[in-house]
Amino acid sequence: MTKQRQHASTTQTEELNPAPETSYAERARTMLSLNQVGVISTHSKKCQGFPFGSTMPYALDDAGRPLFLISAMAMHTHNLKADPHASLFVTTPEAQSDPLGAARMTLMGNAELVPKDDLAAARAAYLARHENASYYVDFADFSFWRLPPVDLYFVGGFGVMGWVETSEFEQAIPDPLAEAALGILQHMNRDHSPALIEIALHEKGVAASEAKMTAVDRLGFHLRLKTPERVHSVRIGFPHEVRCSDECRAVLVAMVERARSEGAPGAS
């Protein structure tokens, strides 16, 4: 089980649409798969006792372990050879505008050289993510390293955070909507904002003047709602799991139609 805890208070809106969430393990695996660059922190060899942060492009192997292609001259390589304990910090593009509200994660582990038998697969996975690395991948002073997770800490935004069991992370797979999510959000917010307001009223009983879809996954989506009293977020569950953008579109259309035909909860 994931050692997750959620510091959000239960409200009346949660009773209307319980909105199941994907696990922290799945969200962490999805975040890693969507991104290509993080910050690796190593133990400084020069300044004992101090962490040393470096920008680090990465790819993932089949087990979800981050892969690095690093030069023997790099300071973080010197650090790892002296002490393999390291962490990789990854966040989302939203962190530029809302750093504390955006999701992020820290993966901790003991860095190691990729074994000879795994080098071909690591090379293919890395070049698939970082095509420009083909210019230096075969240089003698570059080597492939990986970071098998010992523990992970996931933050999904304000009040959503928790530790992720390594075994659960290794079994998790990226959300099937991950690649299409940005397009879905842009389309819904640009072309169907009034429909999101109707869904919020029907599913959560919230009469909002503005609604913006901020996240979507196979089980549901998040809306940021503006009411006369406040701006807040709610999660709304899909009637059933969706596995692709076409299924997501069909479900959203059905939810809008139901909202228009049934109206607000308790309305006669």
Q: Please tell me the total number of residues recorded for the chain in this structure.
A: 268
- Residue 5 pLDDT greater than 80, yes or no: no
Pick the CATH number of 23-171 from 3.40.50.980, 2.60.120.650, 3.40.50.1370, 2.30.110.10: 2.30.110.10
Name beta bridge partners: 154.
105, 162
Residue 95: what pLDDT?
62
pTM, whole model, 2 decimals?
0.82
Looking at residues 201-215, what average pLDDT do you find?
Answer: 93
Residue 150: what pLDDT?
97
User: Which residues of the chain form CATH 2.30.110.10?
Assistant: 23-171
User: Which residues of the chain form CATH 3.20.180.10?
Assistant: 181-262
Region 181-262: CATH code: 3.20.180.10
> What pLDDT digit, counting tens, does each position of 48-75 carry?
999 999 999 999 999 999 999 999 999 9
Integer Cα distance of 64 and 59 in angstroms: 9
